Amino acid sequence: VRPPAHCPVVIVGAGPAGLVLARILGLHGIESVVLERRSHDHVLARARAGIVEQPVADLLDELGAGDRLRREGLVHEGVSFRFGERTCRIDFAETVGRHVVVYSQQDIVADLLDLHAAVGTPVVFGAEVTSIDDFEDGPPRVRVLVDGHEAVIGCDLVVCADGTHGVSETALQGRRALLRRIYRRSWLGVLVDAAPAADELLYSRHRDGFALMSMRGAHRTRLYLEVPASTCLDDWSDDRIWTELHRRLDGDGLVLNEGDVLERGLTPLASSIDQRMRYGRLLLVGDAAHVVPPTGAKGLNCAIGDAVVAARAIREFRCRGEEALATYTSMASARIWGAQRFSWQMTTMFHQVDTDPYERELRLRQLEHVTSSAEAMADLARQYTGLDLADRWDA
Ligand code: RFL
Ligand code: PHB
């Protein structure tokens, strides 16, 4: 696929946000092109999120991209929290009648790409957007490099779904209304060729640092360890990783199953949010606009939630012109701030290294509080399984 000279909507980035947006626009008969700097294979190989909120799984179904998720995804009706000597299960089904689906982000992206190929949405791989011009006061022009050749695409609107460190960062330099938090800790994540040691996720607060047991299907375990942000992946031999994982996660009848480490990676914990998600005729969606630490499992879900709101703003823009874009940020922000707050709460409750004794105790009390009563557990379950989307894609 080659980039066109003109397209009503240019979407930068073939992550979950860009691909869901292109699908909703397509269902409303609005033409778009998706430009992705990486190759098709690279995009499908990137190991990332794995927890899909119930409203997001329902949306993927409605968009025609949910068949495999329904067949292969694991429905989880609860989660366990370990702290001190206690393991506490929060039952989503019983407290709020909801669930999450464990299904990898790569598979969601693969399903959306198959769907786009089937319906003929142009998705151009190996297409690096190098600059976006004139978006503040007129129709934007997008410069893109494909196979060493530069092309310019004219459009009515550009949507940056380009994640962190994408081209929107450069295009908006010095203009952004960013609020940030750096946690000075990272997660070391491994994908292991072994069956998960339990049917549900286990989040563990441990004096040596947080750890999480998750999974990808019935035969792969996904495990995370809290490590200092300055750590180097080379310092973590398989032996050292397993020793730490067992120390922080084994107990209460659970012993991790070991297996070959198939992938490993480091994710710094950070929160950031741009208080403006619209700059003239440029909209930000997903990680390009806001980032959360992975503890609440919200990044992927928020990115897809934004796509629904952006699609509505674009439809109204086509009827009423530029003034219709004015409400985009406020429409998206309640759900985004909900995810920011929940992710911050989960992160602070479970991570305690580098905090003073008062703060450490406070965080433990918070964890005790959220597991102390049916009401508190229901509140957590509601947030974990996902707040309703801000809008309906088909309304
Ligand atoms: P993405 O997925 O980063 O996609 C952005 C795309 O834009 C492309 N791009 C460009 N293309 C053309 N020209 C340019 N100049 C470009 N610059 C960038 C990139 O190549 C890329 O393909 O952003 P999007 O769509 O906003 O989606 C966000 C999610 O990917 C992210 O929030 C989640 O992965 C976060 N996350 C989790 N979220 C959850 O909801 N549940 C989880 O369980 C969860 N676990 C995680 C996570 C993220 C992790 N890592 C690695 C950061 C676990 C981990 C370890
Ligand atoms: C994952 O399975 O990758 C995962 C699960 C829960 C989280 C973060 C990541 O909070």
pLDDT in tens, 148-166: 999 999 999 999 999 999 9
pLDDT for 46:
87
Mean pLDDT of 234-258: 97
Beta-bridge partners for 197:
none
Pick from 1, 53, 162, 304 the residue to mutate for probing ligand 1's pocket: most ligand atoms within 8 Å of its CB: 162
The protein residue with its alpha carbon nearest to ligand 1, atom 49, reads 48
> 378: which residues sit within 8 A by CB, 6+ positions away?
95, 96
Helix (H) or strand (E) holding 43: helix 40-45
Sign of the alpha-carbon torsion through 13, 16, 18, 23: positive
- Tell me whether strands 123-124 and 157-160 are parallel, antiparallel or unpaired: unpaired
Active site residue 183: no
Closest to 265 in 3D by CA, of 244, 241, 287, 246: 241
Which residue type occupies 141? R
Pick from 105, 112, 172 the residue to mutate for probing ligand 1's pocket: most ligand atoms within 8 Å of its CB: 105
> Are residues 14 and 107 in contact, defined by beta-carbon separation less than 8 angstroms?
no
Query: What's the gap in Å between 51 CA and the centre of ligand 2?
Result: 6
The protein residue with its alpha carbon nearest to ligand 2, atom 2, reads 50
Ligand nearest to the CA of 217: 2
| Separation of alpha carbons 20 and 339, rounded Å | 19
pLDDT for 247:
98
> 138: which residues sit within 8 A by CB, 6+ positions away?
281
Mean pLDDT of 183-203: 97
Active site residue 298: yes
Pick from 201, 220, 264 the residue to mutate for probing ligand 2's pocket: most ligand atoms within 8 Å of its CB: 201
Tell me 194's DSSP state.
Answer: S
pLDDT for 47:
83
Query: What's the gap in Å between 58 CA and the centre of ligand 2?
Result: 19
Active site residue 42: no
Global pTM exceeds 0.95? yes
| Separation of alpha carbons 266 and 392, rounded Å | 35
> 317: which residues sit within 8 A by CB, 6+ positions away?
156, 157, 324, 325
Q: Compute the mean pLDDT over every residue in the chain, rounded to the nearest whole number.
A: 96
Q: What is the pLDDT of residues 251-283, one digit of tens each?
A: 999 999 999 999 999 999 999 999 999 999 999
Alpha-carbon distances, residue 106 vs 11, 51, 112, 189, 236 (angstroms): 19, 12, 10, 16, 25
Ligand nearest to the CA of 47: 1
Query: What's the gap in Å between 44 CA and the centre of ligand 1?
Result: 12
Reading across the β-sheet that carries 141-146, which strands appear in turn? Answer: 127-133, 141-146, 149-154
Please, how many CA atoms are within 13 Å of residue 259, restricted to the half-sphere of its CB? 17
Query: What's the gap in Å between 91 CA and the centre of ligand 1?
Result: 29
